[in-house]
Amino acid sequence: MLTHQIDPDSLAALPRGAGVYIFRGDSPLPLYIGKSVDIRSRVMSHLRAPDEARMVAQTRRIDFIETAGEMGALLLESRMIKTDNPLFNQRLRRIRSLCSIRLVQSPAGLVPEVVDSKSVNLGSTPALYGLFASPHAAATKLRALAEQHHLCLSVLGLEPAGRRGCFGVQIKTCLGVCVGQEERGIHDARLFSALCDSQVEVWPFAGAVDVVETSGTWVQRHRVNNWCYLGTQCSRALSPCHLDQAVTLSDAAPREFDLDSYKILVRPIMLKTAVVEPVAPSAL
């Protein structure tokens, strides 16, 4: 364990509670940002990992920001990775434009259309399916569903159809909707069913809400609107040496739909396992 070059005081200060930790070296950019429900235990596991020796060798100190619970740690980690661009983080990087799939009713039947976050408001637009980093990724998903559910690539707009129908008819991966061997309504029902599991949940509130986490008498309110994390309000002051890293409501402007926040929040909010309080318009 290569810890001789790390400030021993920063190691000794690591808490056993939830929060975010930051590996720092000589560069202004952080080396790595992570989260855990037990900061000290997780950091020590990094220091023992042989495949992380290069990062540890560059580390000079380790900072942390405690949170009242795991959700706050997840939200803060996601925000900080996007804004601070740590050198060794590969995931949670900002995706500039997200894509989704929606079904359009044409005279012939349902047709999938790939839309992006510049043309539709993700999170508040109903009947969207899947969240993808690019149109190519969305098309790849449609191809996989076509193979799994015997859908026609020609009808899906993914390849041209000849006079004998699509290539899938010849190799029996398409049930023949493109040549009249299957009713279009049956094909479309199968397409709709295949997409249903990936439907994007529409934001279920009229406006912003606070997702509340507590740890003893400590209360944190994570403000969210349209699946976008806007900041956190704490009932207690953070340590001055870490306050500059905190995300507070005063410096958090409204942002677009965020994929990582959606993944963190959608299950506890839709299953109603999170404590949610509506925000009065006057508080925004």
CA-based end-to-end distance of the chain: 48
Residue ranges of domains in the chain, CATH in brackets = 8-84 (3.40.1440.10), 99-196 (no CATH), 209-283 (no CATH)
Amino acid letter, 26: D
Q: Which residues, including other chains, have CB under 8 Å from residue 125's CB and lie 6 or more apart?
A: 102, 202
Q: Which residues, including other chains, have CB under 8 Å from residue 26's CB and lie 6 or more apart?
A: 58, 60
With contact defined as beta carbons under 8 Å apart, do 142 and 158 qualify?
A: yes
Q: What are the distances in angstroms from CA 123 to CA 4, 128, 131, 200?
A: 48, 9, 10, 7
Q: Could you give phi then psi for residue 91, rounded to 5 degrees?
A: -100, 165
pLDDT at 280: 80
pLDDT at 284: 56
Q: Which one, of 86, 79, 87, 94, lies nearest residue 133 by Cα?
A: 94
- 177 class by beta-carbon count within 10 Å (0-12 exposed, 13-18 middle, 19+ buried): buried
pLDDT at 283: 60
What tens-digit pLDDT sequence spans the chain (284 residues)?
A: 555 689 999 999 999 999 999 999 999 999 999 999 999 999 999 999 999 999 999 999 999 999 999 999 999 999 999 889 999 997 656 666 899 999 999 999 999 999 998 889 999 999 999 999 999 999 999 999 999 999 999 999 998 877 788 888 888 899 999 999 999 999 999 999 999 999 999 999 999 999 999 999 999 999 999 999 999 999 876 543 343 344 454 444 445 788 999 999 999 999 999 999 999 876 65
- Which region holds residue 226: left if phi is over 0, alpha if psi is between -120 and 50, else beta? left
d(C-alpha 55, C-alpha 147), whole Å: 42
pLDDT at 118: 87
pLDDT at 12: 95
Cβ neighbour number for residue 180 with a 10 Å cutoff: 9
Query: Using DSSP, how many helices (H) and how many strands (E) does the chain show?
Result: 8, 10
Q: Can you point out the beta strands (E) in 186-270?
A: 209-215, 218-225, 228-234
d(C-alpha 202, C-alpha 51), whole Å: 40
pTM for the full predicted model: 0.85
pLDDT at 95: 66
In eight-state DSSP terms, residue 248 is B
pLDDT at 168: 87
Identify the helix (H) or strand (E) that includes residue 168. helix 167-170
Q: Is 42 helix (H, G, I), strand (E, B) or coil?
A: helix
Q: Which one, of 106, 86, 87, 137, lies nearest residue 259 by Cα?
A: 137
Token digits of residue 109: 């039947």
In eight-state DSSP terms, residue 139 is H
Q: Which one, of 43, 22, 27, 30, lies nearest residue 86 by Cα?
A: 30
